Structure 1
Amino acid sequence: MAMTDAPPRYKKILLKMSGEVLMGDQPFGIDVNTISRMAEDIADVVKTGVELSLVIGGGNIFRGVSLAGHGMERASADYMGMLATVMNALALQGALEKIGVYTRVQSAIPMDAVCEPYIRRRALRHLEKGRVVIFAAGLGAPFFTTDTPAALRSAEMGCDALFKGTSVDGVYTADPKKDPNAKRYDQLSYQDVLAQDLRVMDASAIALMRDNQIPIVVFSIRERGNFLKVLRGEGTYTTIT
């Protein structure tokens, strides 16, 4: 579908991305071309006047759950994963500011030498001024994935929607990469996701979105320009309400 100049459907959103998206075609780490393209997509959205915040996972660098499964103490492994999200946040901040998008990183684990501590009122003020705010280090506590802080921050910021950028263009009945017969949903309820265990996000994150009546939009972020297209109600995606 061709891009139109339709206005964005939401005024304030949070974008949740997995760290794996930043790898591009690499098996590990951050691909410079991929993160530059992500920055351009984000810049396109910011130019429309949308207030945008982000949460990025750290799985491209370190997965706490995976290492905990191999014998490392879970809390320590999770803290290491949180630090990986800070690295990704700083990398994306650099890519965004290189193309003129003012950005602030706020960490749930205080580290004043590299970024701001998470302060809700300061984050809201940054958004009002048109800055992108990247929330890093999860909740600052172990035993949570980055889904829960994404849901919590979207509620705290008063977001109109949470956009989840993935490698597939929505929510399917099964993994479309493994099952060619998997069917994509256009629309789902929070209860559908929980009852069918569709694993869009953690159950706690889905429940938080349901309680605050914040829709979740699941789309593919790997295609250049798709973020803005979906924000305008175009393209292919799944909406959870």
Structure 2
Amino acid sequence: MRPEFERILIKLSGEALMGDQGFGIKPEMINYVAEEIAQVHALGVQVSMVVGGGNIFRGVAGSSAGMDRASADNMGMLATVINSLALCDALEKHGVPTRVQSAIVMNQVAEPFIRRRAIRHLEKGRAVVFAAGTGNPYFTTDTAAVLRAQEMNAQILFKATKVDGVYDKDPALYRDASFIKKISYMEVLEQQLHVMDMTAISLAMDNNLPLQVFDLNQRGSIIGAVCGNGVGTRIYSDERQ
């Protein structure tokens, strides 16, 4: 298989790591994710990742329960560090040299985020996991993923999620939901499709960063997306691309 891209960023939700559990990290699931990413790395693709923390703590949920939003988001960012360390360990077990860089300084467990160092890791064949979001409250890991993709000069951002792409309405609630193969950023914003949060979509649109959304649970979906096999939904600046 020949990859379509040389440098990518993969956004993984925290919920993806808990599998069918209600909380935490399922060892079988994180091993599966690492195996899928290792296949892409073996093709010579430079891989970076951003992982959410929703399987441990979600800042928005904490805020809605009465917690101060900044405090809740800080807790959510720390949850992403736990997931990033777990993913790093799993990737290394599959032979992928990996580094974790955190937007919140914690030198004992992760490198601080330094853009040039992260790019150098990628050039040397190491995978990089970006932890702690942007390091600021009020920003989601979706926004952090778009930001890091831009900083790494990634050619595309892959969002590996629970659904096989973008629909015109929630397929879990509506049987007549229609699958969308290609769509523009502007249409996503106008129709308020919940692909990523609006800040992330706007940032991707402003910088013309292509996005691709697909089902992580479908084996081979990551390598299929990287090799241009038409997996999931592609989001462009112009829907005709």
Provide TM-score, normalisation by structure 1.
0.96
Counting only pairs closer than 5 Å after superposition, residues 64-213 of structure 1 correspond to structure 2 as 64-213=59-208
Counterpart contact for 1:20–1:58, Cα < 8 Å = yes
Percent identical among aligned pairs is 56
Q: CA deviation at 1:236?
A: 3.3
Choose the corresponding residue for 1:224, options 214, 219, 226. 219
**Could you report, residue by residue, the CA deviation over 1:123-149 in whole angstroms, capped at 9, with x for unpaired residues?**
000000111100000111101110111
Flag as ranges the 4+ runs of structure 1 deviating above 6 A.
none
Distance 2:175 2:127 in 1: 38
Give, in whole Å, the separation in 1 of the partners of 2:175 and 2:229.
24
Whole-angstrom distance in 2 between the partners of 1:213 and 1:235: 20
Distance in structure 2 (CA, Å) of the matches to 1:86 and 1:105: 8
Kept after mapping to 2: 8 A contact 1:14/1:159: yes
Query: Partner of 2:8: helix, strand, or coil?
Result: strand
For 1:144 and 1:208, locate their aligned partners in 2 and report how far apart those are by CA, in whole Å.
Answer: 12
Task: Please list every run of 5 or more consecutive structure 1 residues that lacks an aligned counterpart in the other structure.
Answer: none
**Given the alignment of the two structures, is residue 8 of structure 1 paired with residue 6 of structure 2, yes or no?**
no
Q: Distance in 2 between matches of 1:236 and 1:115?
A: 33
Which residue of structure 2 lines up, in the alignment, with residue 238 of structure 1? 233
Whole-Å Cα distance in 1 between the matches of residues 230 and 183 of structure 2?
Answer: 17
In 1, Cα distance between equivalents of 2:16 and 2:170: 17
Equivalent residues of 1:9, 1:231 under 8 A apart? yes
Return the match for 2:12 from 12, 17, 20: 17
TM-score when normalising by structure 2: 0.96
SS at structure 2 position matched to 1:207:
helix
Count of residue pairs brought into register by the alignment: 236
Residues in 2 aligned to 1:34 and 1:164: alpha-carbon distance in whole angstroms = 17
Segments of 5+ residues of structure 2 without an aligned counterpart are: 237-241
Contact 1:226 1:235 in 2 (8 A): no
* Larger deviation, residues 129-138 vs 204-213: 204-213
Residue 201 of structure 2 aligns with an amino acid whose one-letter code is: I
Q: 2: distance between equivalents of 1:67 and 1:205?
A: 21
Counterparts of residues 46-57 of structure 1 (less than 5 Å): 46-57=41-52
* Cα distance, 1:204 vs structure 2: 1.4
Which of these residues, 200, 214, 237, is aligned with residue 209 of structure 2? 214
Query: Do the aligned partners of 2:143 and 2:197 also contact (CA within 8 Å) in 1?
Result: yes
Aligned-residue CA RMSD in angstroms?
0.8
